[in-house]
Amino acid sequence: MPMQLFKTPHIKFMKYKYVALIASAVIVLAGVLNVTVGSGLKLGVDFGGGTLIRVMFKAPMNISDVRQELKNVGLSNSVIQETGRAGHEFMIRTMQVIKSGDAQQEIEAHEKLADSVISALKGDDGKAELGRGLRDLNTVDSKEMTRLLEQSGVAQDAAAITEKIMGLRNTKGIFADHNELREVGIADNLIASLKEKTFLGKLTVLSRETVGPQAGAELRRKATQACIWALIGMLVYIALRFKLANGVAAIFTLTQDVLITMSIYSFTNREINLPIIAAILTIVGFSINDTIVIFDRIRENQKALRKEPLENIMNLSLNQCLGRTIITSGTVFLTLLALYLFGGEVINDFAFAMLIGTIEGVYSTIYLSCPVILFWQKWFPGKGRGRK
C-alpha cells in the first residue's frame, strides 16, 4: 500500500460556506472601490505608456538628489524607485503621456523624453572629456568599443576582448576604475591605452523601455481578452466534462481568484504589467486543476453513495483530497516563497502575485466552487445536467 502522509480528516467545510462567500465579497468590493474611487491600479509602462529607465551611478546618490535633477528640467512628476545597490541603482518612470494620434510619433517623443532624463542626470559630467574626443567607457557600445581597441593596436582579438569588457560591465553595472578591467584578463598596456582614450562617466543606463499610449491601450485590450477567453475555455470544458453547474462554479471561482488577486495588488501599489498578466493566467490554470480533481472525486462518491445528501458528499470529497491539496499546493508555495525572498527585483512582483494566487486557489476550490454548485441546484433544480 502507498504511504499515507495525512489521515483523512472529518472537517465540515460546507458549514462555513456563507462566511467564505461574505469574506470574498468584502475583499472584492474593497478592491473594486479602491480601483474605481481610490488610488487605483498602478499600470506599468506596458499598459500605461511612458518611459521606464534603469540607471546606475558611480558614486552614491540620494533619491532627493535624483528628483531635484529631474525637477530642474521640468520632470518633477517622474516616479523614482531605488533598486539593486543602495544609493547607486534607480528606476525612473516618466509620467508624461504624449498623444499625437500617430503611434510612431508617440514612441519617438517618448524616446526624446528618455534622452532628456538621461541628459538631466548626467548634467555637465563628461562634457569636457567628450570635447577632447574621449569616449565614456560606461556608456560606449560594442561597436565603438571594438573601434577603440583597434586604435589601441589590437587587431585580431578586438571582438573577443570587447565581449569580455562588455560582459564585465553588465555584471558590475558601472566601472569606477579602469583597473577593474584586469578582472577579465585585460593586459596593463591595453588598460593604459584605454585610459588615454576613455573616461568613466558618472552613470550608465542599464535599460530603457518606451511604450506609447496607443500601444499601451492595445496591450491592455489583449491582456483582458486573454483572461476572458481563458475563463470561457474553462467553462466549456468543465460543462462538457461534468455538468453546467460545475462549469458555472468553476468560472465563478476563477473569476473570484482573479478579482481578489487584483484587489490585493491594488492595495500594495505594485505595478500591473505583462508578467503579472502571465501570473494571473498561471493562477487560473493552477486553480482549475485542483477544482477538477475535487469535482471528479465528488462524482465518484455520488455513484457510491447515491442516498447521501450532496453537501455531505462534498465534505467527504474535500476531506479525501485535502492531503493531496496540501502536498501539491504546499510545494508550489515554498518554491514561490523562495523566489519572492531571494529571486531579486525582476521576478519579485510575479512571485508575489503567484503567492496570492496559490493561497487563494486552495481557498476558493474548497469554500467557493462547491457552495456554488449547491446554490445552483437549489435555484435551478433539474437543470444543468451534463456528462455523468
Which tops the pLDDT comparison, 39 or 354?
354
DSSP structural state of residue 271: E
- Please check whether residue 318 is in contact with residue 13, taking contact to mean a CB–CB distance below 8 angstroms: yes
**The predicted structure's pLDDT at residue 237:** 78
Task: Give the pLDDT mean for 12-20.
Answer: 86
**The predicted structure's pLDDT at residue 2:** 44
Percent of the chain with pLDDT over 90: 2
**The predicted structure's pLDDT at residue 334:** 92
Element (H, E) at 204: strand 203-211
pLDDT at 8 over 80: no
**The predicted structure's pLDDT at residue 213:** 56
The fourth-level CATH superfamily of domain 13-44+212-379 is Multidrug efflux transporter AcrB transmembrane domain (1.20.1640.10)
Question: What CATH code is assigned to 50-125+207-211?
Answer: 3.30.70
pLDDT at 215 over 60: no
Order of strands, edge to edge, in the sheet holding 50-57? Answer: 79-82, 89-94, 50-57, 203-211
pLDDT, tens digit (0-9, with 9 covering 90-100), for 270-295: 878 778 888 888 888 888 888 888 88
- Which of 154, 139, 147 lies closest to 187, judged by CA? 154
- Which of 169, 79, 75 lies closest to 121, judged by CA? 75
DSSP structural state of residue 96: P
pLDDT, tens digit (0-9, with 9 covering 90-100), for 360-370: 888 888 888 88
Domain ranges of the chain: 13-44+212-379, 50-125+207-211, 133-201
pLDDT, tens digit (0-9, with 9 covering 90-100), for 135-189: 888 888 888 888 888 887 776 788 888 899 889 888 888 888 989 989 988 888 8
How many angstroms separate the CA atoms of 287 and 361, rounded? Answer: 5
- Please check whether residue 250 is in contact with residue 288, taking contact to mean a CB–CB distance below 8 angstroms: yes
pLDDT at 337 over 90: yes
Give me 388's grid cell. Answer: 455523468
The CB-side HSE value for 218 (13 A sphere, CA atoms) comes to: 6
- What average pLDDT is seen over the chain? 81
Residue with cell 555637465: 124
pLDDT, tens digit (0-9, with 9 covering 90-100), for 247-276: 888 888 888 888 888 888 888 878 787 788
